[in-house]
A and B are shown apart, each in its own frame.
Chain A
């Protein structure tokens, strides 16, 4: 059995999306920037996709700019806004300690190259940013506030509307990385006071290599990709025609079934969480519960075992999952997100993330609940840390 439980890493392109894309590789291949009538079809397809994305966010088509990825959208928003801000003497960025590396590493770059001041806001034990902390961090030098819509590792949904209102009142551009949020939640950029929003197609059953940045009317970050006059002169390079068509289609389909998906995902999510807590002793759920958590995210720490070990054991059983352990990465530090939630290193090393989605069935949940307890128990039995832990709580 192939049990894919890593929908947050990426999703398969849905058949409807693929069908919509196919004509735009070899049949309708004209460069959208060309003058002849053949290229009008390409331009038309891009404008249709732009409307699909705009409608999904309650934005205007003139506010949607296609990019090569969510990461590019994040880079553009932060770098372009800071560069603009610096002209007015503003070099301060407020963000959080749980952002994706697309934000964190961009901030590090801006600190190094532009001398930007960065405030990384803390989160509570559930991974939630406080609006008061944002308020207290704002200075007259603040050029941009960037807070992710929902966290990719633990799924905590942030108080975006409130932070947006605060920034609007203080006239500070507010950006949100909604790469995960847009794939699962109803986002209305107007009602939520969002100035800039990054998203990515491949998290929502669209193709890889295409994303978008929503820029509210009046938002003019400096350009990030320089070259031709595409995207109204704001983002150069020949458009990823088929990719953009796929993105538009994927987002429209996603919005059409959002409530249905949300209900089924959160019910499976809660069944999996309850099942793990019931079957595996000393399992700790990371992140929030209920409506404050992405409907498809399950993240646990199992004291005494290391995440990569569990991933490989699960892989041997046909289950694909993810971990915040350092052992699955190129660094020796565990997930910055789990550490920001206050987890000890050994708990962060022992984390597993399951993210469900359209490929998930009820049988998958049953199967995971059947095999995971054995895997954790077997690896714990060979762990000196588990033994020490049991002694420390007087169970051995």
Chain B
């Protein structure tokens, strides 16, 4: 149940990395809805020449695993190119957190979706083709 989180999840929940907003972000993406209880918003600052994500911030409404997934996912894409960042999967986020309870796996899916949405927002604004996204029910 609620307290069966790994130490990594608890660490990222208690001291989340990259919390906040980026003013004039190059890409912004949101995933989830209040009904299911999780909303994640991701802000990207991308280097125009190298296409490397120089900075990333998030704001999340949701349970501990949603906050930890956001924190971990932002750490994992920071300093990577936008192509690289696209390939970050929800399973990789969950693994990096030493696993999530099965009922909470959707939190890592949400992180992947929010990042994809932000990357596509960036691509659209910068004249690049938008990549089709898989949509998840939860």
Q: Specify which chain A residues have a CB less than 8 angstroms from the CB of B106 in the assembled complex.
A: 332
Say yes or no: B34 contacts A309, CB within 8 Å. Answer: no
How far, in Å, is A194 (CB) from chain B's closest CB? 35
A102 CB-CB contact with B under 8 Å: no
Q: How far is the CB of A365 from chain B (nearest CB, A)?
A: 24
Look across to chain B and name the residue whose beta carbon is closest to the beta carbon of A316: B14
* Interface SS of chain B: mixed
The number of A-B residue pairs with CB atoms under 8 Å apart is 77
Say whether B37 contacts A309, CB under 8 Å.
Answer: no
Q: Which of B10, B35, B63 is within 8 Å of A327, CB to CB?
A: B63
Contact of B37 among A304, A326, A381 (CB under 8 A): A326
| Beta-carbon contacts under 8 Å, A277-325 to B | 304-306, 308-309, 311-312, 315-316, 325
Q: When the two chains form the complex, which single residue of B3, B36, B61, B65 contacts A385, counting CB atoms closer than 8 Å? A: B61
Q: Which residues of B contact A305 (CB under 8 A)?
A: 61
Q: Which of B2, B16, B37, B62 has the most CB of A within 10 A?
A: B37
Q: Which residue of B lies closest to A349 (CB)?
A: B37
- Determine whether B41 belongs to the interface, using a CB cutoff of 8 Å to chain A: yes
Complex contact B2–A384 (CB within 8 A): no
Contact between A332 and B30 (Cβ–Cβ < 8 Å)? no
> Quick one: CB contact mask for A264-286 with B, threshold 8 Å, 1 for yes?
00000000000000000000000
Of residues 16 through 51 on chain B, the ones whose CB sits less than 8 Å from some CB of chain A are 16, 19-20, 30, 34-41
A328 at the interface (CB under 8 A from B): yes
Q: Which residues of B have CB within 8 Å of A359?
A: none
Q: With an 8 A cutoff between CB atoms, is A387 at the interface? A: yes
Task: Write the chain B residue with the least CB distance to A387.
Answer: B59
Q: In the complex the two chains form, is B14's CB within 8 Å of A309's CB? A: no
The chain B residue with its CB closest to the CB of A380 is: B61
Min distance, Cβ B32 to any Cβ of chain A, angstroms: 9
Task: Contact check, A332 vs B138: say whether CB atoms are below 8 A apart.
Answer: yes
Decide: A382 and B34 in contact? CB cutoff 8 A. no
Contact of A345 among B3, B16, B19, B35 (CB under 8 A): B35
The answer to whether A345 touches B37, judged by C-beta atoms less than 8 angstroms apart, is yes
Q: Tell me which residues from 44 to 97 in chain A have a Cβ below 8 Å from any Cβ of chain B.
A: none
Cβ of B20: which chain A residues have Cβ within 8 Å of it? Answer: 382
Interface size for chain B: under 10, 10 to 19, 20 to 34, or 35 or more residues?
20 to 34
C-alpha spacing A346/B34, complex, angstroms: 5
Cα distance, A326 to B36, chains bound together (Å) = 8
Complexed CA–CA distance, A305 and B10 (Å): 17
CA gap between A327 and B4 in the complex, in Å: 12
Contact of B60 among A325, A328, A332, A383 (CB under 8 A): A383
In the complex, B67 has a CB within 8 A of chain A: yes
Contact B41 A327, beta carbon cutoff 8 Å: no
Chain B residues with CB under 8 A of A169: none
Q: Report yes or no: A306 in contact with B2, Cβ–Cβ below 8 A.
A: no
Instruction: Point out which of A304, A349, A387 has the most chain B C-beta atoms below 10 A from its C-beta.
Output: A349
Let me know if A306 and B37 touch, CB within 8 A: yes
Which of chain A's residues has its CB closest to B63's CB?
A327
Cα(A306)–Cα(B35), bound, Å? 12
Tell me, in angstroms, the Cα distance from A326 to B34 when the chains sit together.
12
How far, in Å, is B121 (CB) from chain A's closest CB?
15
The majority secondary structure among interface residues of chain A is helix
Q: Does B64 contact A (CB under 8 A)?
A: yes
B34 and A344 within 8 A (CB): yes
Partner of B63, one of A315, A325, A344, A381: A325
Output the residue of A305, A383, A387 with the most chain B CB within 10 A: A383
Distance to closest chain B CB from A131 (angstroms): 33
Known: A309-B67, A315-B3, A332-B37. A384 touches B103 (CB 8 A): no
Check if B34 sits within 8 Å of A312, measured CB to CB: no
B2 engages A382 (CB within 8 Å): no
Contact present for B14 and A345 (CB under 8 Å)? no
**In angstroms, how far is the closest chain B Cβ from the Cβ of A353?**
14
Asked if A386 is at the interface of the complex by the 8 Å CB criterion, the answer is yes
Complex Cα spacing A309 to B14, Å: 9
Is there contact, CB below 8 Å, between A312 and B64? Answer: yes
Interface contact A308-B2, CB-CB below 8 Å: yes
Q: Does B13 contact A (CB under 8 A)?
A: yes
Given A346-B34, A382-B16, 14 more pairs with CB closer than 8 A: A306-B37, A306-B61, A309-B13, A309-B62, A309-B64, A309-B67, A312-B64, A325-B37, A327-B62, A344-B34, A349-B34, A385-B39, A385-B61, A387-B59
Can you spell out 21 A-B residue pairs with CB atoms less than 8 angstroms apart?
A306-B62, A306-B63, A306-B66, A309-B13, A309-B62, A312-B13, A316-B14, A326-B36, A326-B37, A327-B2, A327-B63, A328-B2, A328-B63, A332-B138, A344-B34, A346-B61, A349-B37, A382-B19, A383-B61, A384-B39, A385-B39
